[in-house]
Structure 1
Protein backbone atom coordinates (compact mmCIF):
# COMPACT_ATOMS: atom_id res chain seq x y z
CA UNK A 1 0.00 0.00 0.00
CA UNK A 2 1.38 3.49 -0.91
CA UNK A 3 2.20 6.12 1.77
CA UNK A 4 -0.47 8.81 2.52
CA UNK A 5 -0.04 11.84 0.35
CA UNK A 6 0.35 15.35 1.84
CA UNK A 7 -2.62 17.73 1.90
CA UNK A 8 -2.83 20.18 -0.95
CA UNK A 9 -2.57 23.92 -0.08
CA UNK A 10 -6.27 24.46 -0.77
CA UNK A 11 -7.30 21.56 1.47
CA UNK A 12 -9.27 22.77 4.46
CA UNK A 13 -8.86 21.02 7.90
CA UNK A 14 -11.93 19.17 9.06
CA UNK A 15 -12.91 18.41 12.59
CA UNK A 16 -14.29 15.20 14.12
CA UNK A 17 -17.84 16.03 12.96
CA UNK A 18 -16.65 16.62 9.40
CA UNK A 19 -14.61 13.39 9.50
CA UNK A 20 -17.68 11.44 10.58
CA UNK A 21 -19.68 13.09 7.79
CA UNK A 22 -17.04 12.09 5.24
CA UNK A 23 -16.98 8.50 6.52
CA UNK A 24 -20.78 8.40 6.14
CA UNK A 25 -20.45 9.61 2.57
CA UNK A 26 -17.83 6.95 1.84
CA UNK A 27 -20.15 4.24 3.22
CA UNK A 28 -23.04 5.61 1.18
CA UNK A 29 -20.84 5.61 -1.94
CA UNK A 30 -19.85 2.00 -1.36
CA UNK A 31 -23.49 0.94 -1.01
CA UNK A 32 -24.39 2.85 -4.18
CA UNK A 33 -21.67 1.09 -6.16
CA UNK A 34 -22.81 -2.31 -4.91
CA UNK A 35 -26.37 -1.48 -5.92
CA UNK A 36 -25.14 -0.40 -9.37
CA UNK A 37 -23.19 -3.62 -9.82
CA UNK A 38 -26.29 -5.59 -8.74
CA UNK A 39 -28.42 -3.83 -11.35
CA UNK A 40 -25.80 -4.51 -14.00
CA UNK A 41 -25.67 -8.19 -13.02
CA UNK A 42 -29.48 -8.50 -13.14
CA UNK A 43 -29.58 -6.81 -16.52
CA UNK A 44 -26.87 -9.11 -17.83
CA UNK A 45 -28.66 -12.17 -16.49
CA UNK A 46 -31.90 -11.02 -18.11
CA UNK A 47 -30.15 -10.58 -21.44
CA UNK A 48 -28.56 -14.01 -21.23
CA UNK A 49 -31.87 -15.65 -20.30
CA UNK A 50 -33.68 -13.89 -23.13
CA UNK A 51 -31.02 -15.05 -25.59
CA UNK A 52 -31.20 -18.61 -24.32
CA UNK A 53 -34.99 -18.72 -24.62
CA UNK A 54 -34.83 -17.55 -28.19
CA UNK A 55 -32.59 -20.48 -29.07
CA UNK A 56 -34.50 -23.73 -29.24
CA UNK A 57 -32.12 -26.60 -28.52
CA UNK A 58 -32.36 -29.89 -30.38
CA UNK A 59 -33.35 -32.96 -28.44
CA UNK A 60 -29.78 -34.13 -28.16
CA UNK A 61 -28.41 -30.72 -27.09
CA UNK A 62 -27.63 -29.51 -23.54
CA UNK A 63 -30.65 -28.35 -21.50
CA UNK A 64 -31.43 -24.66 -21.53
CA UNK A 65 -31.14 -24.32 -17.75
CA UNK A 66 -27.54 -25.58 -17.73
CA UNK A 67 -26.61 -23.36 -20.63
CA UNK A 68 -28.13 -20.30 -18.94
CA UNK A 69 -26.44 -21.02 -15.64
CA UNK A 70 -23.07 -21.46 -17.34
CA UNK A 71 -23.43 -18.23 -19.26
CA UNK A 72 -24.50 -16.36 -16.13
CA UNK A 73 -21.44 -17.61 -14.23
CA UNK A 74 -19.13 -16.63 -17.06
CA UNK A 75 -20.75 -13.18 -17.28
CA UNK A 76 -20.56 -12.59 -13.52
CA UNK A 77 -16.93 -13.68 -13.17
CA UNK A 78 -15.43 -10.41 -14.57
CA UNK A 79 -17.88 -8.41 -12.48
CA UNK A 80 -16.86 -10.26 -9.32
CA UNK A 81 -13.19 -9.63 -10.08
CA UNK A 82 -13.84 -5.93 -10.78
CA UNK A 83 -15.89 -5.65 -7.61
CA UNK A 84 -13.11 -7.30 -5.60
CA UNK A 85 -10.55 -4.88 -7.03
CA UNK A 86 -12.80 -1.91 -6.35
CA UNK A 87 -13.40 -3.05 -2.77
CA UNK A 88 -9.65 -3.53 -2.27
CA UNK A 89 -8.93 -0.05 -3.60
CA UNK A 90 -11.76 1.37 -1.53
CA UNK A 91 -10.33 -0.27 1.61
CA UNK A 92 -6.92 1.26 0.89
CA UNK A 93 -8.51 4.65 0.30
CA UNK A 94 -10.48 4.41 3.54
CA UNK A 95 -7.32 3.52 5.44
CA UNK A 96 -5.52 6.51 3.94
CA UNK A 97 -8.46 8.76 4.79
CA UNK A 98 -8.47 7.44 8.37
CA UNK A 99 -4.75 8.24 8.66
CA UNK A 100 -5.40 11.72 7.28
CA UNK A 101 -8.20 12.17 9.84
CA UNK A 102 -5.77 11.27 12.63
CA UNK A 103 -3.19 13.70 11.31
CA UNK A 104 -5.81 16.43 11.11
CA UNK A 105 -6.91 15.78 14.68
CA UNK A 106 -3.29 15.98 15.88
CA UNK A 107 -2.81 19.21 13.92
CA UNK A 108 -5.96 20.70 15.49
CA UNK A 109 -4.76 19.72 18.95
CA UNK A 110 -1.36 21.35 18.33
CA UNK A 111 -3.14 24.46 17.05
CA UNK A 112 -5.23 24.67 20.22
CA UNK A 113 -2.12 24.27 22.39
CA UNK A 114 -0.30 26.98 20.43
CA UNK A 115 -3.31 29.29 20.77
CA UNK A 116 -3.34 28.74 24.55
CA UNK A 117 0.41 29.50 24.72
CA UNK A 118 -0.03 32.70 22.70
CA UNK A 119 -2.87 33.82 24.98
CA UNK A 120 -0.73 33.25 28.09
CA UNK A 121 2.20 35.16 26.54
CA UNK A 122 -0.07 38.08 25.69
CA UNK A 123 -1.36 38.18 29.27
CA UNK A 124 2.22 38.29 30.59
CA UNK A 125 3.10 41.13 28.21
CA UNK A 126 0.09 43.11 29.40
CA UNK A 127 1.18 42.65 33.03
CA UNK A 128 4.69 43.86 32.15
CA UNK A 129 3.24 46.94 30.46
CA UNK A 130 1.30 47.73 33.65
CA UNK A 131 4.41 47.30 35.82
CA UNK A 132 6.70 49.46 33.65
CA UNK A 133 5.57 52.88 35.06
CA UNK A 134 5.95 51.61 38.62
CA UNK A 135 9.47 50.36 37.87
CA UNK A 136 10.41 53.78 36.46
CA UNK A 137 9.17 55.50 39.63
CA UNK A 138 11.15 53.10 41.82
CA UNK A 139 14.30 53.71 39.76
CA UNK A 140 13.95 57.49 40.20
CA UNK A 141 13.37 57.12 43.96
CA UNK A 142 16.47 54.92 44.29
CA UNK A 143 18.54 57.48 42.40
CA UNK A 144 17.43 60.27 44.77
CA UNK A 145 18.17 58.15 47.83
CA UNK A 146 21.63 57.33 46.49
CA UNK A 147 22.45 61.02 46.02
CA UNK A 148 21.27 61.92 49.52
CA UNK A 149 23.23 59.03 51.01
CA UNK A 150 26.42 60.14 49.26
CA UNK A 151 26.03 63.67 50.65
CA UNK A 152 25.49 62.37 54.17
CA UNK A 153 28.49 60.05 53.95
CA UNK A 154 30.69 62.92 52.75
CA UNK A 155 29.59 65.15 55.64
CA UNK A 156 30.12 62.39 58.18
CA UNK A 157 33.61 61.66 56.82
CA UNK A 158 34.55 65.32 57.22
CA UNK A 159 33.26 65.35 60.79
CA UNK A 160 35.20 62.18 61.58
CA UNK A 161 38.36 63.73 60.14
CA UNK A 162 37.86 66.84 62.27
CA UNK A 163 37.38 64.77 65.42
CA UNK A 164 40.50 62.73 64.65
CA UNK A 165 42.57 65.92 64.27
CA UNK A 166 41.26 67.26 67.55
CA UNK A 167 42.03 63.99 69.29
CA UNK A 168 45.54 63.98 67.90
CA UNK A 169 46.08 67.55 69.06
CA UNK A 170 44.83 66.63 72.54
CA UNK A 171 47.24 63.68 72.70
CA UNK A 172 50.16 65.84 71.62
CA UNK A 173 49.28 68.50 74.16
CA UNK A 174 49.06 65.91 76.95
CA UNK A 175 52.45 64.41 76.06
CA UNK A 176 54.30 67.75 75.99
CA UNK A 177 56.45 68.71 79.03
CA UNK A 178 55.60 71.72 81.14
CA UNK A 179 56.51 74.90 79.32
CA UNK A 180 59.67 76.68 80.41
CA UNK A 181 59.42 80.32 81.35
CA UNK A 182 60.39 82.32 78.37
CA UNK A 183 61.04 85.91 77.70
CA UNK A 184 57.99 88.08 77.15
CA UNK A 185 56.60 87.76 73.70
CA UNK A 186 55.68 90.64 71.52
CA UNK A 187 52.12 91.81 71.56
CA UNK A 188 49.73 89.51 69.72
CA UNK A 189 48.25 90.79 66.50
CA UNK A 190 44.75 92.20 66.71
CA UNK A 191 41.95 89.64 66.70
CA UNK A 192 38.91 89.80 64.39
CA UNK A 193 35.92 91.62 65.95
CA UNK A 194 33.82 88.47 65.81
CA UNK A 195 33.81 84.94 67.15
CA UNK A 196 34.10 81.68 65.19
CA UNK A 197 31.26 79.39 66.27
CA UNK A 198 31.94 76.25 64.25
CA UNK A 199 32.48 74.69 60.84
CA UNK A 200 29.98 73.19 58.40
CA UNK A 201 30.22 71.46 55.04
CA UNK A 202 27.81 72.33 52.26
CA UNK A 203 28.04 70.99 48.74
CA UNK A 204 31.43 69.47 49.56
CA UNK A 205 32.91 72.86 50.65
CA UNK A 206 33.69 73.89 54.25
CA UNK A 207 32.20 77.02 55.82
CA UNK A 208 32.84 78.62 59.21
CA UNK A 209 30.15 80.30 61.27
CA UNK A 210 30.95 83.71 62.75
CA UNK A 211 28.98 86.00 65.06
CA UNK A 212 29.70 89.45 66.58
CA UNK A 213 31.43 89.36 69.94
CA UNK A 214 29.03 89.03 72.83
CA UNK A 215 26.10 87.84 70.66
CA UNK A 216 24.95 84.24 70.75
CA UNK A 217 21.69 84.30 68.80
CA UNK A 218 21.49 81.93 65.86
CA UNK A 219 20.11 84.75 63.74
CA UNK A 220 23.39 86.65 64.17
CA UNK A 221 25.55 83.76 62.91
CA UNK A 222 26.85 84.09 59.35
CA UNK A 223 28.52 81.38 57.29
CA UNK A 224 31.79 82.40 55.60
CA UNK A 225 33.61 80.54 52.86
CA UNK A 226 37.17 81.02 51.71
CA UNK A 227 37.39 84.48 50.10
CA UNK A 228 34.46 85.98 52.04
CA UNK A 229 34.93 89.16 54.18
CA UNK A 230 33.51 90.23 57.54
CA UNK A 231 34.29 93.64 59.11
CA UNK A 232 37.33 94.04 56.85
CA UNK A 233 38.72 90.55 57.64
CA UNK A 234 39.03 88.01 54.79
CA UNK A 235 38.83 84.27 55.37
CA UNK A 236 41.87 82.93 53.50
CA UNK A 237 41.97 79.29 54.59
CA UNK A 238 40.20 76.65 56.68
CA UNK A 239 42.73 74.16 58.03
CA UNK A 240 41.31 71.36 60.15
CA UNK A 241 40.21 73.06 63.38
CA UNK A 242 41.67 76.44 62.52
CA UNK A 243 40.48 79.31 60.35
CA UNK A 244 42.97 81.83 59.00
CA UNK A 245 41.85 85.46 58.59
CA UNK A 246 43.90 88.26 57.10
CA UNK A 247 43.71 92.08 57.17
CA UNK A 248 46.16 94.64 55.89
CA UNK A 249 48.72 91.95 55.10
CA UNK A 250 48.59 90.37 58.56
CA UNK A 251 47.15 86.88 59.17
CA UNK A 252 45.47 85.59 62.32
CA UNK A 253 44.94 81.90 63.04
CA UNK A 254 41.63 81.40 64.92
CA UNK A 255 40.81 78.05 66.49
CA UNK A 256 37.41 76.61 65.61
CA UNK A 257 35.58 75.30 68.70
Structure 2
Protein backbone atom coordinates (compact mmCIF):
# COMPACT_ATOMS: atom_id res chain seq x y z
CA UNK A 1 0.00 0.00 0.00
CA UNK A 2 1.26 3.35 -0.89
CA UNK A 3 2.02 5.92 1.74
CA UNK A 4 -0.41 8.45 0.24
CA UNK A 5 -3.27 5.93 0.34
CA UNK A 6 -2.51 5.11 4.01
CA UNK A 7 -2.49 8.78 4.92
CA UNK A 8 -5.81 9.27 3.18
CA UNK A 9 -7.31 6.43 5.23
CA UNK A 10 -5.95 7.89 8.46
CA UNK A 11 -7.28 11.37 7.68
CA UNK A 12 -10.67 9.95 6.73
CA UNK A 13 -10.83 7.95 9.96
CA UNK A 14 -9.91 11.04 11.97
CA UNK A 15 -12.58 13.06 10.19
CA UNK A 16 -15.19 10.41 10.97
CA UNK A 17 -14.11 10.32 14.58
CA UNK A 18 -14.22 14.13 14.88
CA UNK A 19 -17.62 14.19 13.21
CA UNK A 20 -18.94 11.58 15.65
CA UNK A 21 -17.53 13.44 18.63
CA UNK A 22 -19.01 16.71 17.37
CA UNK A 23 -22.44 15.11 17.05
CA UNK A 24 -22.16 13.64 20.54
CA UNK A 25 -21.04 16.97 22.03
CA UNK A 26 -23.91 18.78 20.32
CA UNK A 27 -26.40 16.28 21.72
CA UNK A 28 -24.89 16.71 25.21
CA UNK A 29 -25.05 20.50 24.83
CA UNK A 30 -28.74 20.33 23.90
CA UNK A 31 -29.39 18.02 26.85
CA UNK A 32 -27.61 20.39 29.24
CA UNK A 33 -29.58 23.34 27.84
CA UNK A 34 -32.86 21.50 28.35
CA UNK A 35 -31.87 20.62 31.92
CA UNK A 36 -30.95 24.23 32.64
CA UNK A 37 -34.30 25.46 31.26
CA UNK A 38 -36.17 22.86 33.29
CA UNK A 39 -34.20 23.85 36.41
CA UNK A 40 -34.99 27.56 35.81
CA UNK A 41 -38.71 26.74 35.56
CA UNK A 42 -38.56 24.73 38.78
CA UNK A 43 -36.82 27.63 40.56
CA UNK A 44 -39.48 30.07 39.29
CA UNK A 45 -42.26 27.74 40.46
CA UNK A 46 -40.56 27.38 43.86
CA UNK A 47 -40.25 31.17 44.19
CA UNK A 48 -43.97 31.57 43.38
CA UNK A 49 -44.87 28.94 45.99
CA UNK A 50 -42.73 30.72 48.59
CA UNK A 51 -44.45 34.06 47.90
CA UNK A 52 -47.89 32.41 48.14
CA UNK A 53 -46.87 30.74 51.39
CA UNK A 54 -45.71 34.08 52.85
CA UNK A 55 -49.00 35.73 51.85
CA UNK A 56 -50.96 32.91 53.50
CA UNK A 57 -48.92 33.23 56.69
CA UNK A 58 -49.56 37.02 56.78
CA UNK A 59 -53.29 36.48 56.28
CA UNK A 60 -53.35 33.86 59.05
CA UNK A 61 -51.57 36.25 61.44
CA UNK A 62 -54.07 39.05 60.68
CA UNK A 63 -56.96 36.66 61.31
CA UNK A 64 -55.46 35.66 64.66
CA UNK A 65 -55.20 39.33 65.74
CA UNK A 66 -58.78 39.95 64.60
CA UNK A 67 -60.05 36.94 66.57
CA UNK A 68 -58.15 38.16 69.63
CA UNK A 69 -59.76 41.63 69.37
CA UNK A 70 -63.22 40.09 68.99
CA UNK A 71 -62.67 37.92 72.06
CA UNK A 72 -61.58 40.94 74.12
CA UNK A 73 -64.68 42.89 73.00
CA UNK A 74 -66.92 39.95 73.94
CA UNK A 75 -65.23 39.59 77.35
CA UNK A 76 -65.62 43.34 78.03
CA UNK A 77 -69.33 43.31 77.13
CA UNK A 78 -69.93 40.26 79.34
CA UNK A 79 -68.09 41.90 82.25
CA UNK A 80 -70.18 45.08 81.94
CA UNK A 81 -73.38 43.05 81.84
CA UNK A 82 -72.30 41.08 84.92
CA UNK A 83 -71.64 44.37 86.76
CA UNK A 84 -74.89 46.10 85.74
CA UNK A 85 -77.32 43.22 86.30
CA UNK A 86 -76.72 42.88 90.09
CA UNK A 87 -77.13 46.67 90.50
CA UNK A 88 -80.48 46.65 88.69
CA UNK A 89 -81.62 43.63 90.71
CA UNK A 90 -80.64 45.36 93.96
CA UNK A 91 -82.51 48.56 93.00
CA UNK A 92 -85.60 46.56 92.04
CA UNK A 93 -85.45 44.70 95.35
CA UNK A 94 -85.15 47.95 97.33
CA UNK A 95 -88.10 49.46 95.47
CA UNK A 96 -90.19 46.37 96.17
CA UNK A 97 -89.24 46.48 99.86
CA UNK A 98 -90.30 50.13 100.02
CA UNK A 99 -93.63 49.27 98.44
CA UNK A 100 -94.22 46.37 100.83
CA UNK A 101 -93.26 48.44 103.89
CA UNK A 102 -95.33 51.48 102.99
CA UNK A 103 -98.42 49.55 101.92
CA UNK A 104 -99.34 48.73 105.55
CA UNK A 105 -99.08 52.19 107.13
CA UNK A 106 -99.69 54.76 104.38
CA UNK A 107 -103.02 56.41 103.64
CA UNK A 108 -104.66 56.15 100.24
CA UNK A 109 -103.50 59.65 99.27
CA UNK A 110 -99.93 58.89 100.36
CA UNK A 111 -99.97 55.65 98.41
CA UNK A 112 -101.02 57.42 95.22
CA UNK A 113 -98.21 59.97 95.62
CA UNK A 114 -95.61 57.34 96.51
CA UNK A 115 -96.72 55.14 93.64
CA UNK A 116 -96.20 58.00 91.20
CA UNK A 117 -92.80 58.79 92.69
CA UNK A 118 -91.65 55.17 92.65
CA UNK A 119 -92.64 54.81 89.02
CA UNK A 120 -90.63 57.93 88.23
CA UNK A 121 -87.63 56.57 90.17
CA UNK A 122 -87.81 53.26 88.31
CA UNK A 123 -87.76 55.08 84.98
CA UNK A 124 -84.79 57.19 86.08
CA UNK A 125 -82.87 54.10 87.19
CA UNK A 126 -83.39 52.55 83.77
CA UNK A 127 -82.11 55.76 82.14
CA UNK A 128 -78.94 55.95 84.30
CA UNK A 129 -77.00 53.73 81.94
CA UNK A 130 -77.49 56.03 78.94
CA UNK A 131 -77.14 59.34 80.79
CA UNK A 132 -73.63 60.91 80.35
CA UNK A 133 -71.86 62.13 83.50
CA UNK A 134 -71.40 65.83 84.14
CA UNK A 135 -68.05 67.16 82.83
CA UNK A 136 -65.64 68.24 85.59
CA UNK A 137 -65.31 72.00 86.03
CA UNK A 138 -62.37 73.49 84.20
CA UNK A 139 -60.15 75.49 86.56
CA UNK A 140 -59.21 78.94 85.34
CA UNK A 141 -55.53 79.40 84.56
CA UNK A 142 -55.45 82.95 85.90
CA UNK A 143 -57.72 84.44 88.52
CA UNK A 144 -59.13 87.78 87.42
CA UNK A 145 -58.92 90.69 89.74
CA UNK A 146 -61.98 91.07 91.87
CA UNK A 147 -63.95 94.18 91.09
CA UNK A 148 -66.85 95.53 92.98
CA UNK A 149 -69.87 94.46 90.96
CA UNK A 150 -73.44 94.32 92.14
CA UNK A 151 -74.72 90.81 92.76
CA UNK A 152 -77.42 89.79 90.30
CA UNK A 153 -80.80 89.22 91.85
CA UNK A 154 -81.56 85.51 92.40
CA UNK A 155 -83.84 83.94 89.84
CA UNK A 156 -87.22 82.59 90.75
CA UNK A 157 -87.16 78.81 90.15
CA UNK A 158 -89.82 77.44 87.79
CA UNK A 159 -90.88 74.89 90.42
CA UNK A 160 -91.77 74.46 94.06
CA UNK A 161 -89.54 72.39 96.35
CA UNK A 162 -91.66 69.79 98.17
CA UNK A 163 -89.20 67.65 100.13
CA UNK A 164 -86.01 65.61 100.08
CA UNK A 165 -86.51 61.88 99.52
CA UNK A 166 -84.00 59.10 100.31
CA UNK A 167 -83.96 56.04 98.07
CA UNK A 168 -81.35 53.29 98.37
CA UNK A 169 -78.94 55.57 100.22
CA UNK A 170 -79.29 58.31 97.57
CA UNK A 171 -80.99 61.70 98.17
CA UNK A 172 -83.54 63.04 95.66
CA UNK A 173 -85.16 66.47 95.54
CA UNK A 174 -88.94 66.32 95.03
CA UNK A 175 -90.21 69.30 92.99
CA UNK A 176 -93.37 70.21 91.13
CA UNK A 177 -94.58 73.14 88.98
CA UNK A 178 -95.89 76.12 91.00
CA UNK A 179 -99.55 75.88 92.04
CA UNK A 180 -99.69 72.27 90.78
CA UNK A 181 -102.30 70.03 92.39
CA UNK A 182 -101.60 66.84 90.43
CA UNK A 183 -99.43 64.08 91.85
CA UNK A 184 -98.35 63.21 88.33
CA UNK A 185 -96.46 66.52 88.15
CA UNK A 186 -94.11 65.56 91.02
CA UNK A 187 -90.55 64.99 89.78
CA UNK A 188 -87.59 63.57 91.73
CA UNK A 189 -84.27 65.18 90.82
CA UNK A 190 -80.86 63.60 91.38
CA UNK A 191 -77.49 65.25 90.83
CA UNK A 192 -77.13 66.00 87.12
CA UNK A 193 -80.87 65.93 86.33
CA UNK A 194 -82.84 69.01 85.41
CA UNK A 195 -86.23 70.64 85.52
CA UNK A 196 -86.60 72.82 82.44
CA UNK A 197 -83.38 74.84 82.16
CA UNK A 198 -82.47 74.30 85.83
CA UNK A 199 -79.98 71.46 86.36
CA UNK A 200 -79.35 70.17 89.89
CA UNK A 201 -75.60 70.29 90.61
CA UNK A 202 -75.31 69.67 94.35
CA UNK A 203 -77.89 68.67 96.93
CA UNK A 204 -76.61 70.05 100.24
CA UNK A 205 -78.14 69.40 103.68
CA UNK A 206 -80.06 72.72 103.71
CA UNK A 207 -79.93 73.96 100.12
CA UNK A 208 -79.82 72.83 96.51
CA UNK A 209 -77.40 74.34 93.97
CA UNK A 210 -78.70 74.60 90.40
CA UNK A 211 -76.90 75.41 87.15
CA UNK A 212 -79.05 77.66 84.97
CA UNK A 213 -78.40 78.35 81.30
CA UNK A 214 -76.88 81.85 80.70
CA UNK A 215 -77.02 82.63 84.45
CA UNK A 216 -74.80 82.07 87.51
CA UNK A 217 -75.49 79.08 89.75
CA UNK A 218 -78.66 79.51 91.80
CA UNK A 219 -79.14 78.41 95.42
CA UNK A 220 -82.58 77.22 96.51
CA UNK A 221 -83.20 76.75 100.22
CA UNK A 222 -84.80 73.47 101.27
CA UNK A 223 -87.99 73.37 103.31
Classify the TM-score, shorter chain. 0.3 to 0.5
- Kindly indicate which of the two structures has a greater share of residues assigned to helix: 1
TM-score, normalised by the number of residues in structure 2: 0.38
